[in-house]
Structure 1
């Protein structure tokens, strides 16, 4: 029985594929696929149905399923595309098999339903598992990448590093800032660290507390922390909240903070043109003598 039904499906795959594509196309106007180009929609559907038939022939083609699920995630297609497509394949296959038989009794109908379920359910499970696994892996990688980008420590000159902060600072991110800051100071042998909060929209008591903690931790390992990017509204908020930032230097801009960092490391910015003019004047005076 099972061999005969599977043979009917595989031998008439072209007809079933055509029916399946028509079934999927009918629902396109009402879901997310309406905004997808015709070429991409058709090619993805073709790949999908090929994966289904390959799985039926090989009793589960894990590599094909895994690759297809990963491509769907990269395309940004939801899991419902897979589950809806498999349910459409189930309906089309059952209708096709029943349409090829002269039997109309309940027992045959029940047997067809049972056998099709045995083929379709494992494929659905594999697709869902592979999609979920790939999704979790991608989300995990993205989370790591975002964490690395959320609190970078950039060495800009020997013994001077900058940590630009952008966006809201919550407790989890504050912990990451502290870890990156301490690790980076030691790794880059930084004497001065500039924490730039120009891109932080709100500085409340909690944010200020975390920044103070970070600055204090940097001080304890022998370096100096300068807070830069203090906009007027941020300064007013800090004063109104009664937050004490007197323990470490603050500057209104990164430029001013960098100039202070140079002074702390016994360096300064020189105007080369002015220096050259001075040298030329000195040479001229010596020549005159």
Structure 2
């Protein structure tokens, strides 16, 4: 029997038994079955209709449409943070259900030549595998880009350099400062000094209750690096606990580093200097 005729028969057989196909599919995908309504509600993804679409692309050999459909599904699944195990179970259930209906249809049809059967098997399984491959590639690509974007946002929020004049900026630090954050801070501070031509960086530490030894050491190196680029660092709001630790460990700020008890005190002084410079230019 011609394989294309056989494929057409299978497609017609599934269409004529659409409800029975869906019931069999839901039976195969036991874990996904109870989540179908939730996935439709929160992700706007109709798994049952998409299953029919996938089967149609595979049976009709529409490889480009299959690839684009897999890309669409991968991005949708990633953007709504849906569980990958559900998708894998669902697609494998589609594969098993499709083969069950192929077997059932073939019982009522004439015998198919062995060579034709293997060509048919290759088209079906390669189609399912191609969908899964494209789905996971696009899922991973979109997820990686999303994670990178979110990480950049977090990095910017964790090191917020705020200009208050053409030459003076404030860097308020709040919460936990760990090695990762000091690495981000080092990179961003040095970049912004070069880009904005910052001459004075006011580093407000009033929101930091504790810093470990490695973080303190890294902070001092950032201050030294800033000085090498012609930027003076002003430290404000150091808490007693941090100061005691620095004293016991023998850490010292450089002679050019100013310290103030509060951010307000530092702003009062440096804004006053700025106003005097402006007046002297007129």
Per-residue deviation at 1:228? 2.2
Q: Please give the alpha-carbon distance, in whole angstroms, between the structure 1 residues aligned to 2:6 and 2:86.
A: 26
Are 2:95 and 1:90 equivalent residues in the alignment? yes
Per-residue deviation at 1:239? 2.8
Are 2:75 and 1:73 equivalent residues in the alignment? no
Cα distance per residue 1:109-168 (max 9 Å; x no partner): x85765532331221112122212222222233333333333232102342201123454
My pick for the range that moved more, 84-93 or 258-267, is 258-267
Correspondence for 2:51: 49
Are 2:259 and 1:250 equivalent residues in the alignment? yes
Which consecutive segments of 4 or more residues in structure 1 shift more than 6 A? none
Correspondence for 2:201: 193
| Residue 48 to residue 162, structure 1, CA distance change in 2 (3 Å) | farther
Correspondence for 2:23: 19
Conserved? CA contact 2:205–2:236, under 8 Å: yes
Question: Relative contact order (C-alpha < 8 Å, sep 6+): which is higher?
Answer: 2
Q: Please give the alpha-carbon distance, in whole angstroms, between the structure 1 residues aligned to 2:91 and 2:264.
A: 60
Q: Please give the alpha-carbon distance, in whole angstroms, between the structure 1 residues aligned to 2:148 and 2:50.
A: 26
Correspondence for 2:270: 261
Give the 3-state SS of the residue equivalent to 2:46 in structure 1: helix
Q: Please give the alpha-carbon distance, in whole angstroms, between the structure 2 residues aligned to 1:70 and 1:20.
A: 27
Correspondence for 1:141: 149
Per-residue deviation at 1:241? 2.8
Correspondence for 2:63: 59
Conserved? CA contact 1:161–1:194, under 8 Å: yes
The number of aligned residues is 264
Q: Please give the alpha-carbon distance, in whole angstroms, between the structure 2 residues aligned to 1:222 and 1:212.
A: 16
| Residue 10 to residue 216, structure 1, CA distance change in 2 (3 Å) | same
Per-residue deviation at 1:181? 1.6
Conserved? CA contact 2:173–2:205, under 8 Å: yes
Correspondence for 1:10: 11
| Residue 157 to residue 170, structure 1, CA distance change in 2 (3 Å) | same
Per-residue deviation at 1:25? 6.3
Conserved? CA contact 2:209–2:239, under 8 Å: no
Per-residue deviation at 1:90? 0.7
So what's the TM-score if we normalise by structure 2? 0.76
| Residue 42 to residue 9, structure 1, CA distance change in 2 (3 Å) | farther
Unpaired runs of at least 5, structure 1:
269-289
| Residue 195 to residue 2, structure 1, CA distance change in 2 (3 Å) | farther
Cα distance per residue 1:254-275 (max 9 Å; x no partner): 223322332454569xxxxxxx
Q: Please give the alpha-carbon distance, in whole angstroms, between the structure 1 residues aligned to 2:45 and 2:205.
A: 47
Q: Please give the alpha-carbon distance, in whole angstroms, between the structure 2 residues aligned to 1:83 and 1:139.
A: 22
Q: Please give the alpha-carbon distance, in whole angstroms, between the structure 1 residues aligned to 2:139 and 2:10.
A: 26
1:119-158 superposed matches below 5 A: 119-158=127-166
Give the 3-state SS of the residue equivalent to 2:106 in structure 1: coil
Correspondence for 1:217: 225
So what's the TM-score if we normalise by structure 1? 0.74
